[in-house]
A and B are shown apart, each in its own frame.
Chain A
Amino acid sequence: MALLDIRDLSVDFTRDDGRVRAIDRVSLRVEANEVVGLVGESGSGKTVTALSIARLLPCPPARYAGGEIELDGEDVLKVGTKRLSQLRGGQISYMFQEPATSLNPVHRVGVQVREMLRRHRPALATDREVVDWLRRVGIPAPEKRARDFPHQLSGGMQQRVMIAMALASRPRLLVADEPTTALDVTIQAAILELLRELRAELGMSILLITHNLGLVAEIADRMIVMYAGQVVEEGPVDDVLDHPAHPYTRALLESMPRLEAPRDRLAAIEGSVPTPGHWPTGCRFAPRCALARAECRRAMPPLERMGKRTVRCPWAPPTGAKIREPA
């Protein structure tokens, strides 16, 4: 049984001009001790999906419009508030893009780490355990740093404190939403290495939400590509990145400048990601897709299983081969 099993999840938002769907029948699994990368551009619905898992979306304006979220056998959408607050931080922890805004500026970082322990593993809520965690995430002179306020630490160190807070309660699942986007590449590399070590040591699973395909290639086992509120492709990372099947995945890869393989011109995708409320009928990528034909604009193609992958495009090649040009 998967640790996290999201089935056909839809989330709506109420706005002044009515209700719009933000994610549309998203299914996603994370196995125990697995790292899954959830990739997409702004407006793809990846953050809404991630926040849904612990019901962190404010309702209203959000509304869970359908589907199930099963975390370790429990349906998160049905549990009561008391159980929910045990799950949050207990079974599932989050870390976000900007550590500076996620940490409380008026409390010393040691106190913030201890707060997590006090709530979820009270027997371990000691200064020693706090210092141990700060040491474990690579903070030098942890006894001293525990007494620092967040603003006294660099961005990389703040993100390490966030990791200590997220993991001190030993959650089964860490949801990391763009955890290194605000950091320099050298710091990013160190944080990735740390997550990799802690994952092996603690046996946890990670759902990594990012727009950076390089990060996913570095750390994830499997990846899911979202576009306009839907999953368009899912499969083992190396397969998807080496032989992207969905035209969007392929276009995304081709539009990236690459350090190792410079090219003359980037193959930019025409148009922009449609925002919620403005999704076209049929395949949502069709208006920007070079391979689209008339039927793509009429009916939504289903997600279809192809070997180790699922792809939402009838023109996708079985494996490897170049995408078939429609006649």
Chain B
Amino acid sequence: MSSSPLLEIHDLHVHYPVGRTTPFAPASVLKAVDGVDLRLAPGETLGLVGESGCGKTTLGRALVKLVQPTTGQLRFRGQDITRLQGRELLAYRKRVQMIFQDPAGSLNPRLTAGASIAEPLRLHRLTRTANARRERVAELLRSVGLDPDHAQRYPHEFSGGQRQRIGLARALAVEPELIVCDEPVSALDVSVQAHVINLLADLQRARGLSFLFIAHDLAVVAHLCQRVAVMYLGRILESGPTSAVLGTPRHPYTLALRSAVPQVRPKERQQRMPLPGEPPSPLDPPSGCAFHPRCPIGEDRCQRERPAFRSIGPGHQVACHAVE
């Protein structure tokens, strides 16, 4: 991927101060994102997977500037966007949008679907007249497979899948280059989920959109994404082409994650690699490699040294001492 990237994340840290546990204890810091390097090419769908609490949502929010990075750099089309403010921030948000997991919670219940979709149009002054706005809203509703007449309805009148489509139409209103999708289908039923996944794939193909697709469901990620990054305790442990990362995972954590997915076909079932324990608290991350306390192949070195994130194949990177 040598062409100029759409988005570059360089050594990004997002730390949250958390209160003292006792009056004289030192104030602690939660490292939600702890040194992440990632690139996203134009028109690419990058999957970001990991267990709850690994920092994937915080990373997504940092990209749309909903949280401020502590240190590190974000570049969008070569421009440093780490500390954007005011007018420049508004301009950036026209190029990067986000859709959320809970489609009901991310729509204002007192606005009609049409009004919600029209809001970004108004904010960014993309339509001059009310008529033009109405037409654009109708067109957006059609593009996500909804009836333009639905513009008059309120969120509670829609099903979960339809609400997610409204959220998507709202994100598409500004014709962004990148959409950060935070678990957009995990709250949906299987048959509804399939429609939304197909819609996302179609939009990506038709408009050359880029997606950062945050999910915990590896099958959905394998289906939609060209590349995958695996996150654990605020760090990326493995990233690369989907076929490599999920097909022939190299990091022991990716292996374990993949083998934990229940398979429908008994023949496809593979040897399960059990993971002892649970992810440690990000307030008190282990020394060295964050994964070492649960790692089946950990060595002495893993407790002391944090493994570098290095290349092991075309576009395939791993942070593990044991991988050749």
Interface residues of A, Cβ cutoff 8 Å to B: 41-42, 140, 154-157, 184-190, 192-193, 211-215, 217-218, 238, 241-242, 251-253, 255-263, 265-269, 272-273
Q: Please give, as numbers and ranges, the residues of chain B lying within 8 Å of A140 by CB-CB distance.
A: 277
Q: Are B191 and A217 in contact (CB under 8 A)?
A: no
Q: With A257-B220, A259-B258, A272-B161 as given contacts, are A213 and B274 in contact (CB-CB < 8 Å)?
A: no
How many whole Å from A28's CB to the nearest CB in chain B?
Answer: 21
Q: Are B265 and A217 in contact (CB under 8 A)?
A: yes
5 closest A-B pairs (Cβ-Cβ)? A214-B262, A257-B223, A268-B194, A255-B194, A260-B268
Q: Are B262 and A212 in contact (CB under 8 A)?
A: yes
A314 to B161, CA, bound (A): 31
Q: List 9 A-B contacts (CB under 8 A).
A: A185-B261, A189-B259, A189-B262, A217-B262, A218-B263, A241-B265, A242-B266, A253-B264, A263-B223
Among residues of A, the one whose C-beta sits closest to the C-beta of B258 is: A259
Q: With A185-B218, A259-B246 as given contacts, are A269 and B194 in contact (CB-CB < 8 Å)?
A: yes
Among residues of A, the one whose C-beta sits closest to the C-beta of B195 is: A268
Q: Please give, as numbers and ranges, the residues of chain A lying within 8 Å of B274 by CB-CB distance.
A: 189-190, 193
Partner of B262, one of A187, A215, A272, A273: A215
Q: Please give, as numbers and ranges, the residues of chain B lying within 8 Å of A215 by CB-CB distance.
A: 262
A184 to B260, CA, bound (A): 9
How many whole Å from A228's CB to the nearest CB in chain B?
Answer: 13
Beyond the given A41-B190, A155-B52, A256-B190, please list 13 additional residue pairs across the A-B interface where CB-CB is below 8 A: A186-B256, A214-B263, A238-B266, A257-B194, A258-B219, A258-B268, A259-B258, A259-B261, A259-B268, A261-B268, A268-B191, A272-B159, A273-B189
Q: With A266-B197, A268-B195 as given contacts, are A189 and B260 in contact (CB-CB < 8 Å)?
A: yes
Q: Please give, as numbers and ranges, the residues of chain B lying within 8 Å of A190 by CB-CB distance.
A: 274-275
B322 at the interface (CB under 8 A from A): no
How many whole Å from B193's CB to the nearest CB in chain A?
Answer: 8
Interface residues of B, Cβ cutoff 8 Å to A: 51-52, 159, 161, 189-195, 197-198, 201, 216-220, 222-224, 246, 256-266, 268-269, 272, 274-275, 277-278
Q: Are B257 and A257 in contact (CB under 8 A)?
A: no
Chain B facing A: main interface SS: helix
Q: With A214-B262, A257-B220 as given contacts, are A272 and B201 in contact (CB-CB < 8 Å)?
A: no
Partner of A211, one of B189, B223, B256: B189
Among residues of A, the one whose C-beta sits closest to the C-beta of B281 is: A154
Among residues of A, the one whose C-beta sits closest to the C-beta of B202 is: A265
How many whole Å from A275's CB to the nearest CB in chain B?
Answer: 9
Partner of B272, one of A189, A214, A255, A256: A189
Interface centre among A42, A215, A263 (most CB of B within 10 A): A42
Q: Are A217 and B257 in contact (CB under 8 A)?
A: no
Q: With A154-B278, A252-B190 as given contacts, are A186 and B265 in contact (CB-CB < 8 Å)?
A: no
Among residues of A, the one whose C-beta sits closest to the C-beta of B262 is: A214
A125 to B193, CA, bound (A): 46
A181 to B268, CA, bound (A): 22
How many whole Å from A239's CB to the nearest CB in chain B?
Answer: 11
How many whole Å from B13's CB to the nearest CB in chain A?
Answer: 24
Q: Are A262 and B223 in contact (CB under 8 A)?
A: yes
How many whole Å from B177's CB to the nearest CB in chain A?
Answer: 24
Q: With A41-B191, A266-B197 as given contacts, are A257 and B222 in contact (CB-CB < 8 Å)?
A: yes
A194 to B51, CA, bound (A): 20
